[in-house]
Structure 1
C-alpha cells in the first residue's frame, strides 16, 4: 500500500509539474499578458522577505502581482529575460534558481544546483543570453565529507531556459574565484566581474580580459581598486557597470595628507563590447551603486545614504539629496524616473533633474540585499 501510494503521489507531482510547464509555455506563445502591457512597457522587479517576487508597473507605481518564491530567501537576485516575460530569481540561500512568468506567477523554470553531498552557491551571478535561450550562473561548490569540507573549483554553468522544472547544466567551464555579477553581451560572451573584468565564451569556455582591476599595472602611486560587485545593473542603458574606489598617492605611499581619493568605474557596452574604465569622481561620500542616465552617458546617479547626480566628463557632483535611510540599490526607467530601494520595505521615487522625492512604493517585506531590475515586457 505504501509503495503504491508513493508511485501515485510521484505521478501526480510529475503531471502537475508538466501541466504547469505547459501552461507557462502556452501563455508565452499565446501572447496573453493577463492585463499587463506589452510593447516594451517597463516593470520594476524586486524581491522581499520572507521570499516574494514583486512586479511593479512603472506607470502607476503599483504592485501588479506578488509571486511566492520557493525556498528560503537568499540574496534577492533577479534577472529578467530579454523579452521581459520571465524573471529568474536566486533563492534557497543562493542554491536554487527559479524562473517566473511575471504575467501570472507560473514557475516555468527551476534548477536545484546542489546535489548529493555537494552544496552549490551562486552569489549574485545570474545572466541570460541576449536571445533568451540560455541561463548562466557561476557556481561555487563545496563537498561535505565525514571529517572535512572540500572546497571545489568554481565554474560557469550553462542552462537551457526551456529545460523546465528540473533543469541541469548542459555545459560547465572553470572560472576564477570571487566572481559575482555577470551579464551577457551581443557578442555571445558573458561578462565576469571578479578580481578583473573578464569575458567568457559560454560555448567553449575561452576567457579573455576586458579590463584589469586587481591586476592593473599602475605602479606604487595608485592603490589596488576596491570594486563593489553587489548588484547587477545597466539594462536601462544597455551596459554593464562596476564602480570601484582607489587612492592616488601624490607623496609617499600611505601619506594621507597628499593623497587623492577617487571613485572609478569599469563600464562595458553590451552591444559592442567596448570597455571604458577610469576615475570619474572625487570620493566625497559612500556610494553603493551607480547607474547611467539612458539619455546621456556622461551623467551618473548614485545611492546609499544620499541620492547623487554626477557629470563624469567634468568629474563633478551636480546635486545631492539626503535620503530618509540607507538604500543599497537604484535603477531608472527610459523616461528617467529614478527608483531607489534595497535595505528596507520601501522604494523611493525621484525626479532625475532635481533629485526631489516624487513618490514611494510600500512593499510587504524588507528588500534586504535584493536587486531592482527593469523588465521590458514585449
Structure 2
C-alpha cells in the first residue's frame, strides 16, 4: 500500500483539519540506511518501494511519455535518471522531493531525430552523464542514418543540458556502466572500454569477435543495465559448444553464459554457467554467493556456476523481465511486464508475495535496488 497522509485535499478545503505534516507525508523523503527499490511503469510513473516492509513508499510522476523507463541512479542514490519519452530524453528526478532537476534531449542537432537504445549511465563520481545517440537526418525527400555519437553531459547542467563533449561511436551500442577509475564500459557487438576524455573505444571482451575454440559465436540480447551490490557490469550470452572440429550442431552442447566486468578493478570474466534449456531476459549473481546465478523470463531459475547445472526453478504466473536482489541476498524481486513486483526467497525460490503498483505495465523497465 502507498504511504500517505491521513486526510485528503478536499477534506482540508472543507474542514481545515489536515495538518501540514499529514500533507507532507504524501511525498515522504527517503530514510538514510534504508533499502529501497525503484521501478517505472505506464502512464509515466517512477515508484519507490520500501524493501523493509515490501510496500510501495511513494510515486513520482514523470514528464512527457513513457518508454523504455530505464533507470540509473546517482552514486549518492538521491537522483534517479530515467531514459524515457520513447527513448528520446533523459530526466533526472530527486527521489526525496519528486522534483525534476535534469533534462537532456538525445536529439541535439537541427534537422535530426535521435534515440538512445538503453545506452546511458552516470559517471562513478556522479558529475557526468553519458548517452549514445543514434541520429537520423530528417530531409524533405529522404531520411539519412547518421554516425552514432557518445555525448557527455554535466549532471549539474539543469533542465536544458547540452553535451560538454561528443565523440563518434560504434553502431549497435546498448547498456553501459562507469568504472571506479572513470572508464566507461559499453555493450555492443563487443564489450568496449571507453576513455570518456578522448572518446577512444577499445574492445575489452570479444563477443561477436570472440575466438573460443569449438564455440559458436555467442548470441546476446540484454537491455537491463543494473547497478548491483556486487559492483559489476554483467550481461548474458548463449552459445553452442561443439564436440570436435566438425562443429556438428546436432551434437553440440547449448549453453548459457555470463560476460562480466568488475567495476572496481576492470577485471573481466567470460563464464558458461549452465545448459540452454529456456530463454532468460535478465540474470544476476547472488550478492552473498558469486557461485549462484539466477535468470528470469517465464520461470525463475537458479544455477551452480562451477558445476554448470540447474539447481532449481520456480514457475511464474506470468513473465517477468528484470531480476534484482536485496543486499542480504535473501530475497529476489522480479519486475517488468505487468504492474506487480514478485518477491521470492533466494534459497528455496518459494514465493513470498507481490507488490502491486499503481498504473499500467512496467514493460521493459530497469529496476534498481539501493540503500540510501
* Superposition TM-score, scaled by structure 2 size: 0.89
Residue 367 (str. 1) matches residue 362 (str. 2): yes
Once the two structures are TM-superposed, the CA of residue 292 in structure 1 deviates from its matched residue by 1.1
Please state whether the residue corresponding to 2:354 is helix, strand or coil: strand
Q: Give, in whole Å, the separation in 2 of the partners of 1:278 and 1:300.
A: 11
Q: CA deviation at 1:63?
A: 1.7
Q: What residue ranges of structure 1 are gaps of 5+ in the alignment?
A: 1-32
Residue 256 and residue 363 in structure 1: after superposition, are their counterparts in 2 closer, same or farther (change >3 A)? same
Which runs of structure 2 are paired with 1:123-142 in the superposition (5 Å)? Answer: 123-142=117-136
**Aligned 1:129-278 pairs, distance under 5 A:** 129-218=123-212, 221-250=214-243, 255-278=248-271
Q: Figure out how many residues of one structure are paired with residues of the other and give that number.
A: 343
- Deviating beyond 6 angstroms after TM superposition, the runs of 4 or more aligned structure 1 residues are none
| TM-aligned CA deviation for residue 129 of structure 1 | 0.8
Structure 2: distance between partners of 1:216 and 1:257: 22
Consecutive unaligned residues of structure 2, counting only runs of 5 or more, are 1-26
Are the equivalent residues in 2 in contact too, given 1:329–1:340 (CA < 8 A)? Answer: yes
Name whichever structure is richer in helix by fraction. 1
Provide the aligned C-alpha RMSD in A.
1.5
Q: Structure 2: how far apart are the matches of 1:171 and 1:256?
A: 47
1:288 aligns with 2:281: yes
Partners of 2:244 and 2:259 in 1: how far apart?
26
Matched, 1:93 2:86: yes
Q: Cα deviations across residues 300-321 of structure 1 (Å, max 9, x unaligned)?
A: 1111111111110111111110
Aligned position for 1:325: 318
Residue 284 of structure 1: CA displacement? 1.6
Could you report, residue by residue, the CA deviation over 1:312-369 in whole angstroms, capped at 9, with x for unpaired residues?
0111111110111111111111022110110111110010100111011101221011
What is the CA–CA distance in structure 1 between the aligned matches of 2:155 and 2:28, rounded to whole Å? 22
Q: 2:247 & 2:306 partners in 1: Cα distance?
A: 28
Task: Confirm or deny that 1:356 pairs with 2:350.
Answer: yes
In 2, the alpha carbon distance for the partners of 1:376 and 1:181 equals 23
Which of 291, 311, 322 aligns to 2:304? It is 311
Q: Secondary structure at the match of 1:318?
A: strand
Q: Report the CA distance between 1:254 and its aligned residue.
A: 6.7
Within the candidate set 74, 97, 116, 1:122 is matched to 116
Instruction: Provide, for residues 225-273 of structure 1, a one-character-per-residue CA deviation record: whole Å limited to 9, x for no partner.
Output: 1112211124221101110001122257673431110001111111001
Query: For residues 188 and 274 of structure 1, what CA distance do their matches in structure 2 show?
Result: 14
**For residues 128 and 188 of structure 1, what CA distance do their matches in structure 2 show?**
10
Is 1:111 the equivalent of 2:104? Answer: yes
CA distance in 2, matches of 1:374, 1:140: 29
